């Protein structure tokens, strides 16, 4: 009897064994690949079935949206920089959330991706930095030590960026559609090296990639053509006074913690800030409430000495120590400016009082290099934040010479070519978009100040009205203590508050027009490079020659303040308080006096007098 054996039966166990081994391979190699989709947002990942801790994890992950891809591996992910080292933060896993994904990294770093299709296609990325100590293997550090975080990305398919400079706004073209890649305050997009660079302050704020909706300068001008949104000087001043009253209420009591001499900050916790202290004292001076405020604030020198510097020296003194450290600080600032110039970065003009610093406190050729760069920098590729910085340097800052004023005159075309087209109107309010769909509230207020001042200089009522409306709209959303939302997000025809707040002291120097806020006065044109003063009172050079320097001071009667004049060549005698005044290195322990160092050519004065105006006269 013969038996026919079917070879098919042999194949079944072979296949079964193969499946078992395949599953085992996937489990132990971590090779399971899968994908998820949320609207226009797609995610692909390679999963480890279990991590060493027995929890689900991924060893590779990619998120894509309309020509933009973010890829992370178990060895490479976020790049975190501290003062001491550069670290790669590997990806660990992800969670599906409403409208997107939350990607998890080692050490507790989180990066959310959320998508929307209405009113236009958009994805938002928000980085969250851990609040407690970060531990990576054997390395541990505090989040406060982080100086910069980079998120790598790639342009994929036909996506092409328009421009190569680091900017807060990059236009991307993908299959005929245009997208705006926008960063919040404290962040920049680097299209060449394909990374988003964030300062710690940008944690919790959204980076947006959104389909383009263009603005039109003629539309904005049309809003003001019939004078409907016109604003009188009286209305503008009332709005400003309301804001200053709210800020002052916060500085004096609402945010103030007397026992620790701190203020509740935007993050919700108490901290000491020199800028808060100075804004408070400057406003108290303006309101003639200074004696009371100073009696309370003078404790800052004992409680927070390491947090005080040049800014507060006009009120609190400590001039020897302040200026001993200033040379190092200024040298580092000058080096940063030179690096920007070497790389031809237009973002260098975001620094306020740039030309003033370069002429007075920079090295020999820094001012000339800046003037040359201002004359040739391309204006078509600058973003809104840089444009506002350029215009602020031209319109609101003191120019140490005619050359910087002439060189920056060309910046004014940015009002027509960029800023007006970036203004939106919603519910009767006007805001400047720092990037499409993104409003930096402080920047919008500063831009309004610049545009209004430029309009006044040119006798252009429409520009004045536009500028005033921008200022009043921004200040009008402040809370009872003058705190403003850091950003607003534009959705269709409405705006929503973004993340975080900004304290009023951060914009007070520009908004208040307070002549008693500390300031630098350049004497470069009269006395040469390196001659400048730091003061909080009226300071007018009425005659500078080889024979004598005569400077007129205007101040309140019997109110102590400090001033410093740099670049003073060795002299024969000095007239102060109406009489010849001798040198005293320990001058700050007296009610008034002066100290001069011929080596540094620095004259320091503690001023207190029963008058409201006198001359300082230096005889050679």
Residue 508 has pLDDT above 70, yes or no: yes
pTM: 0.76
CA–CA distance, 282 with 290 (Å, rounded to integer):
8
| Among 360, 394, 356, 389, CA closest to 375 | 394
Inform me whether the pLDDT recorded for 21 exceeds 70.
no
Two domains, one topology: 25-213 and 537-619: no
Condensed to tens digits (0 to 9), the pLDDT of residues 203-214 reads 888 888 887 765
The pLDDT value recorded for residue 576 is 96
Instruction: Give me the residues paired with residue 552 across strands.
Output: 540, 615
Element (H, E) at 200: none
DSSP code per residue over 324-364: HHHHHHHHHHHHHHHHHHHTT-GGGGGSTTHHHHHHHHS-T
- Section 546-570 average pLDDT: 97
Tens of pLDDT along 39-76? 888 999 887 755 454 444 787 889 999 889 999 987 77
* Residue 20, token pair as written in the block: 């078992």
How many C-beta atoms lie closer than 10 Å to residue 461's C-beta?
13
Question: Percentage of the chain with pLDDT > 90?
Answer: 63
561 phi and psi angles, rounded to 5 deg? -150, 165
- Residue 215: its pLDDT value, please? 58
Question: What are the DSSP E strand ranges found in 32-99?
Answer: 32-38, 41-48, 57-65, 68-73, 78-82, 86-89, 91-97
For helices 290-297 and 274-286, give the axis angle rounded to 10 degrees.
Answer: 160
Q: With contact defined as beta carbons under 8 Å apart, do 122 and 208 qualify?
A: yes
- Where is 473: in which H helix or E strand? helix 461-475
Q: CA 90 to CA 78: how far, in whole Å? A: 7
Q: Would you place residue 20 in the very low, low, confident or very high pLDDT band (cuts 50, 70, 90)?
A: low
For the domain made up of 537-619, the CATH class stated in words is mainly beta
Sign of CA dihedral 78, 83, 86, 87: negative
3-state helix, strand, coil in the chain (%, to 5): 35, 30, 35
- Of the candidates 232, 293, 208, the one whose C-alpha atom is nearest the C-alpha of residue 489 is 208
Helix locations, 353-439, DSSP H: 354-361, 366-376, 384-395, 402-408, 413-414
Residue range 286-303: mean pLDDT, rounded: 96
Per-residue pLDDT band for 119 (boundaries 50, 70, 90) equals low
For the domain made up of 25-213, the CATH class stated in words is mainly beta
Confidence (pLDDT) at 139: 84
- Kindly indicate the confidence band of residue 2, based on its pLDDT and cuts at 50, 70 and 90: very low
Quote the pLDDT of residue 26. Answer: 47
Instruction: Give the mean pLDDT of the chain.
Output: 89
Q: What is the pLDDT of residue 3?
A: 47
Domain spans, the chain: 25-213, 233-511, 537-619
């Amino acid at each position: 009897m013969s038996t026919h054996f079917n070879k098919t039966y042999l194949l079944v166990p072979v296949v079964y064994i193969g499946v078992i081994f395949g599953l085992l391979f996937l489990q132990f190699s971590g090779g399971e690949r899968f994908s998820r989709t949320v609207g226009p947002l797609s995610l692909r990942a390679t999963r480890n079935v279990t991590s060493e801790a027995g929890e689900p994890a991924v060893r590779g992950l990619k998120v894509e949206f309309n020509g933009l891809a973010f890829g992370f591996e178990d060895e490479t992910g976020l790049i975190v920089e501290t003062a001491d080292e550069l670290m790669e933060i590997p990806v660990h896993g992800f969670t599906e959330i409403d409208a997107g994904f939350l990607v998890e990294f080692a050490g507790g770093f989180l990066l959310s991706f959320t998508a929307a299709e209405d009113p236009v296609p958009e994805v938002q990325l928000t980085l969250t930095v851990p609040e407690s100590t970060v531990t990576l293997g054997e390395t541990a550090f505090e989040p406060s030590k982080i100086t910069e975080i980079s998120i790598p990305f790639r342009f994929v398919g036909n996506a092409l960026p328009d421009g190569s400079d680091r900017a807060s706004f990059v236009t991307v073209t993908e299959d005929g559609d245009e997208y705006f890649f926008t960063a919040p305050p404290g962040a920049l997009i680097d299209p060449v090296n394909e990374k988003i660079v964030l300062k710690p302050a940008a944690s919790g704020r959204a980076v947006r990639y959104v389909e383009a909706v263009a603005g039109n300068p003629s539309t904005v001008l049309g809003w003001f053509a019939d004078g409907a949104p016109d604003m009188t000087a009286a209305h503008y001043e009332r709005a400003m006074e309301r804001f200053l009253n709210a800020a002052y209420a916060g500085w004096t009591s609402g945010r103030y913690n007397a026992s620790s001499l701190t203020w509740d900050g935007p993050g919700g916790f108490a901290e000491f800030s020199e800028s808060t202290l100075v804004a408070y004292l400057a406003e108290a001076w303006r309101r003639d409430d200074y004696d009371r405020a100073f009696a309370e604030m003078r404790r800052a020198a004992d409680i927070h000495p390491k947090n005080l510097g040049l800014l507060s020296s006009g009120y609190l003194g400590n001039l020897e120590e302040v200026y001993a450290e200033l040379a190092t600080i200024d040298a580092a600032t000058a080096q940063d400016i030179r690096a920007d110039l070497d790389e031809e970065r237009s973002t260098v003009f975001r620094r306020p009082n740039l030309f003033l610093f370069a002429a007075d406190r920079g090295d020999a050729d820094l001012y000339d290099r800046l003037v040359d760069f201002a004359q040739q920098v391309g204006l078509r590729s600058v973003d809104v934040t840089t444009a506002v910085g350029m215009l602020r340097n031209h319109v609101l800052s003191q120019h140490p010479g005619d050359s910087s004023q002439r060189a920056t005159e060309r910046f004014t075309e940015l009002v027509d070519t960029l800023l007006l087209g970036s203004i939106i109107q919603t519910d009767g309010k006007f805001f400047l978009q720092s990037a499409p769909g993104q409003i930096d509230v402080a920047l919008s207020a500063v831009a309004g100040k610049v545009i209004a001042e430029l309009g006044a200089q040119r006798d252009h009522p429409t520009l004045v009205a536009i500028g005033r409306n921008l200022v009043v709209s921004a200040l009008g959303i402040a809370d009872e203590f003058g705190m403003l939302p850091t950003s607003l997000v534009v959705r269709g025809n409405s705006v929503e508050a973004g993340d975080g707040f900004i304290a009023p002291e951060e914009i007070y120097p520009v908004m208040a027009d307070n002549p008693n806020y500390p300031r630098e006065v350049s004497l470069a044109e009269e006395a040469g490079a390196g001659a400048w003063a730091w003061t909080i009172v009226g300071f007018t050079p009425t005659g500078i020659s080889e024979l004598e320097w005569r400077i007129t001071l205007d101040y309140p009667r019997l109110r102590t303040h400090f001033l410093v004049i740099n670049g003073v060549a060795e002299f024969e005698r000095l007239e102060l308080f109406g009489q010849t005044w001798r040198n005293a290195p320990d001058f700050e322990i007296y009610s008034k006096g002066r100290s001069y160092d011929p080596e540094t050519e620095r004259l320091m004065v503690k001023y207190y007098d029963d008058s409201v105006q006198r001359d300082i006269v230096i005889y050679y």
